[in-house]
Structure 1
Amino acid sequence: MGRGGRTKDREDGPERKCVVTGEVQPKYGLIRFVVGPDAQIVPDILGKLPGRGIYVAADHAALIKAAGKAGKGAFARAAKMPVTVPENLLEEVETQIARRVVELISLARKSGDAVAGYEKVKDWLSKEVAEILIQAVDGSGRGKSKLSTPHYGSYIGWLTAEELGAAFGRQTVIHSALASGGLTQRVVEEAQRLKGVRLKSGAGASGKEQKAT
């Protein structure tokens, strides 16, 4: 895994084509949609809903196009039938992915692979236990700057303090860290999808990206 939450390429991973951009890429970089019983386009974040999948890149601009007039045509062409595209499609996709990231971090916490709080995170970083540094986008920039991304690790900085708090059963959390574990890769992949959906042009949520040390 690299800086900014990016994962290493998976040459053996399944690939699909984005119906908006035409780009072929691994499935974990795309959002799957299906046509519901009422011919409405439905986001399938977990990739488990029945039906033929329609894929759009996990990218804000691509999803805006998918939800717009031209996107309706792309969805209809992919589905080979007239479809309805909800007006709040982008918001619903963002909400579902954010919820998924929170759930995965919560599972990592329960398995002992995640901690929250400045001192605990600092301790994990100093002992090189932490592989991923997660900090709330709405946290104090001065406080966040005191902690650095693990060497060869990743940084996630586009969850809110409330969202991160939900993963730890608290009202808010600013600093968190993940150790190397079975869920870590999945957290990074889903967080990367959230970044693409949530942030225009993939810009850093805090206006800057932490440097690896």
Structure 2
Amino acid sequence: MGREKTVTRMCALTREELPASALIRFAVSPDGVIAPDVDAKAPGRGVWVKGDKAAVEEAVKRKAFAKSLKTNVEVPADLALMVKARLEQRLVGALGLARKAGALATGAAKVAGLLESGKVAALITASDAAPDGRRKMLQSVRRGFDTPPPHIESLSSTQLGLALGLENVIHAALTPGAAANSAIERANRLDRYIATDREEDGTI
């Protein structure tokens, strides 16, 4: 069997041909307003922009959507933030499904136990976690794994709590399986999107 061909699309801002997975699709609503279509399922012609927040902000500024569609469209000024919110919602949904599937543990003690056993597909730390608690978890990872698992820290304790139907969640972990893989893919996409923000505020 031959390799599966990578689906590519052209970025409306940079004119680069990139894998569709590295881009964000935007669709036009019936009333002529541009909206994020992060699952790339909306009908009609779409506009693709490189999947990072700075690129979307620049596309809004340069009127790249109207140029690509060759027609006037309304573009919300906060479009880049709308994309971030949609990507966060996708991750929140995946984490909720992982918990229902029994593939997610919460609480420092349970997470520490999983780290010791080596049965962790991804470590999750709230973005507003105390530095000391975060450091201790990462030390456990370094002790227990030759290759550290992914570290998801793009959601706040409030967002994690809402995702999991619990009070504020600071520490959690995903165990290996399809549910974890889905959550990790969505977390990676969100991380790529907000990477420039993190560089600017020094959190990388």
User: Given the two structures, how large is their TM-score scaled by the length of structure 1?
Assistant: 0.83
Partner of 1:4: none
Q: Does residue 1:170 correspond to 2:160, yes or no? A: no
* Structure 1 pair 182–13 and aligned structure 2 pair: CA distance change class (3 A): farther
What amino acid does structure 1 have at the position aligned with 2:109? E
Asked which structure has the greater RCO (Cα within 8 Å, sep 6+), the reply is: 1
Greater helix share, structure number:
2
What amino acid does structure 2 have at the position aligned with 1:130? V
Partner of 1:30: 23
Contact 2:91 2:187 survives alignment (8 Å): yes
Query: What CA deviation, in whole Å up to 9, does each residue of 1:11-42 have, x standing for no partner?
Result: 74422222112333322222110111122111
Task: Report the identity percentage.
Answer: 36
Partner Cα separation in structure 2 for residue 30 and residue 110 of structure 1: 30
Higher radius of gyration, 1 or 2: 2
* Structure 1 pair 206–132 and aligned structure 2 pair: CA distance change class (3 A): farther
Partner Cα separation in structure 2 for residue 11 and residue 153 of structure 1: 27
* Structure 1 pair 156–24 and aligned structure 2 pair: CA distance change class (3 A): farther
Contact 2:128 2:156 survives alignment (8 Å): yes
Gaps of 5+ in 1: 1-9, 209-213
Q: RMSD across aligned C-alpha pairs, in angstroms? A: 2.2
141-150 or 189-198: bigger deviation: 189-198
Which ranges of 4 or more aligned residues in structure 1 deviate by more than 6 Å?
none
Q: 1:198 aligns with which of 194, 198, 203?
A: 194
Partner Cα separation in structure 1 for residue 185 and residue 162 of structure 2: 19
Q: Does residue 1:130 correspond to 2:117, yes or no? A: no
Partner of 1:5: none
Partner of 1:41: 34
Partner Cα separation in structure 1 for residue 104 and residue 80 of structure 2: 29
* Structure 1 pair 205–162 and aligned structure 2 pair: CA distance change class (3 A): farther
Gaps of 5+ in 2: none
Contact 1:30 1:193 survives alignment (8 Å): no
Partner of 1:184: 180
What amino acid does structure 2 have at the position aligned with 1:159? L
